[in-house]
Structure 1
Amino acid sequence: MRVLYVATDQRVPGRDGGSVHVGSVAAGLAALGHEVHVAASAGDGPFPRDGASWIDLPPPLGARRLRWLRGPRVRALAERIEPDVVIERYYNFGGEGIYAARSVGALAVLEVNAPVIDHPGSRKRRLDRALLVEPMRRWRDWQCRRADLFVTPQADILPPWAPRDRIV
């Protein structure tokens, strides 16, 4: 299977959990025989030589919150690669992988490792509600509604309306 894994805000190689996770997922999928292409930010050294094809695609100005602006670049990458599946590592300001998957007719998989939902009283939730139209909630809901599948260690970190039969 041809896979495009989108994690543009993760620096690989790196020392934090997200970086290690992205590298491990890419290597694991390649070891299973999949053709894996990873869009990530170049980290402290060369990309791993693990059977995956690595593409340096950092968020604009290195700012994670601008990651969604990479939508056209990720879409062009997907058009060139023609993936069967696009896996996006969820980030509230992401969505470029889901957008690309929809654009090329690939299966859209949202990998969720941290809560999509805002916990009551959180700073992010207060800010979002203060903006009246809740743009952050609406954007993450857009991402989740367009995902064909969710890969997550815990279903309760997804919105309660997320279809349970699409969670693996």
Structure 2
Amino acid sequence: MTERTTSPRTVAYVCADPGIPVFGTKGASVHIQEIVRAWRNRGAHVEVFAVRAGDAVPEDLADLPVHVVKVGGKGMEPAQREQAQRAAAARLAELVVELGPDLVYERYSLFSDVLATAAEALSVPGVLEVNAPLIDEQRTHRVLVDETGADEILRDQLAAADVVACVSEPVAAWVRARVPAAADPQVTVVPNGVNTDRVRPVSPDPSGDPVVVFVGTLKPWHGVEDLLEARRLAQAPWRLRLIGDGPQLGAIEALVAEHDLDVDLVGAVVPEAVPAALDGAMVAVAPYPESGDHYFSPLKVYEYAAAALPVVASRIGQIPAVVEEGVTGLLVPPSDPAALAAAIDALVTDPARSADLGAAARRRMVEHHSWDQVLEATVCGIATHAPDAPAGVR
């Protein structure tokens, strides 16, 4: 374990996950950008080391140094891809060591040991951010050839980290079970946050039926089919706006056509465009199904709340800690389209109540869930003050 410091002037942010571009439309890309902003707000000079850059660069991060080492071309066999990920991580570690930062902050990725390698070489503190049990995910939903290697690398990362920031308690439990006996990282639970300057309160569209909005990748674990069924069962008139894209788009389009539903399929938008895409809505929805692992911290719910939208969400995982029943939104049983429809109907037919719940949700985000607060909770034992020297000066 390295000696701790209280004022990192230069931070190396690392993401070696081939599925996450730094400047993309996924929630993970939003997370990267917001943590970078939070470090810069503390006065740190930040450089990013990644395997994908992306091209949706927000204006305020146009000057962010991003060092990219690509994993490789398409068509590789799973074992080849795992080796390519290891090779890319090794090169990223070399680049981080060349920079010589005061702190290494890595988003946990399979087969990446950048933090362990660079923090040891430089004798600087390290933070490992864990957003999901990736080994379990890869084994269950994709292909994992070298599980033993992936587990060994994770244990090395945990042993090297001063702080391991986990997005939820289930993720923290998964991490604690893998911390080597001789290691002593601070394993802490730090849920997601929201940029309340970027996501501002929206106003319902007074023309036509009320708008109910969903934002997210169109994948099975987001429950969009249940939302479409809720629209079919609804007693009150409301329009559904789906913001996102993904592998289930075709099936969703077929359901919309089959039942002649009033649905606006917006498609994926860059993070900077999400606030505008929410405008005009009265209610926002997070209809997570009962099946699946509920270890996530629901980024979309934080953004809904920051937009002063009352949230109707499934009562699973961390959601009851974010959406307070009857105060900032309504909670329903997962995989229950009828209950989902009834809750949405109740809000769209009572604009005053919807506005009150949305205003309370917004206040809670401003007071308790900024990204600056997320970073402070993550590194309070390492970097509690902005540096005295100018950013970038070591």
- TM-score norm. by structure 2 comes to 0.36
1:7 aligns with 2:19: no
User: Which of the pair is proportionally richer in strand?
Assistant: 1
- 1:118 is matched by which residue type in structure 2? D
1:97 aligns with 2:108: no
- Alignment partner of 1:39 out of 40, 49, 72: 49
Aligned-residue identity in percent: 27
- 1:4 is matched by which residue type in structure 2? A
Deviation track 1:75-131 (CA, whole Å, cap 9, x = no partner) reads 332233221110111012222233122112121211101025638xx538x966xx7
Cα distance, 1:25 vs structure 2: 0.7
Larger Rg: 2
Cα distance, 1:11 vs structure 2: 1.0
Deviation track 1:15-72 (CA, whole Å, cap 9, x = no partner) reads 1111111111101111121111111322024475338732231432167743331344
1:85 aligns with 2:93: no
Q: Secondary structure at the match of 1:86?
A: strand
Aligned length: 162
CA distance in 1, matches of 2:99, 2:117: 15
1:158 aligns with 2:169: no
Which residue number in structure 2 is paired with residue 73 of structure 1? 91
CA distance in 2, matches of 1:161, 1:8: 20
CA distance in 2, matches of 1:25, 1:127: 29
Which residue number in structure 1 is paired with residue 124 of structure 2? 106
Any stretches of 5+ residues in structure 1 without a counterpart?
none
Q: Point out the more displaced range, 37-46 or 81-90.
A: 37-46
Which residue number in structure 1 is paired with residue 386 of structure 2? none
- TM-score norm. by structure 1 comes to 0.77
Change (3 A) 1:4 1:110: same
CA distance in 2, matches of 1:26, 1:19: 11
CA distance in 2, matches of 1:103, 1:81: 12
CA distance in 2, matches of 1:141, 1:29: 26
* Contact in 2 for aligned 1:4/1:83 (Cα 8 Å): yes
- 1:43 is matched by which residue type in structure 2? G
- Alignment partner of 2:157 out of 143, 146, 168: 143
Which residue number in structure 1 is paired with residue 187 of structure 2? 167
- 1:138 is matched by which residue type in structure 2? E
Any stretches of 5+ residues in structure 2 without a counterpart?
1-7, 75-80, 189-394
> Over the residues paired in the alignment, what is the CA RMSD in angstroms?
3.1
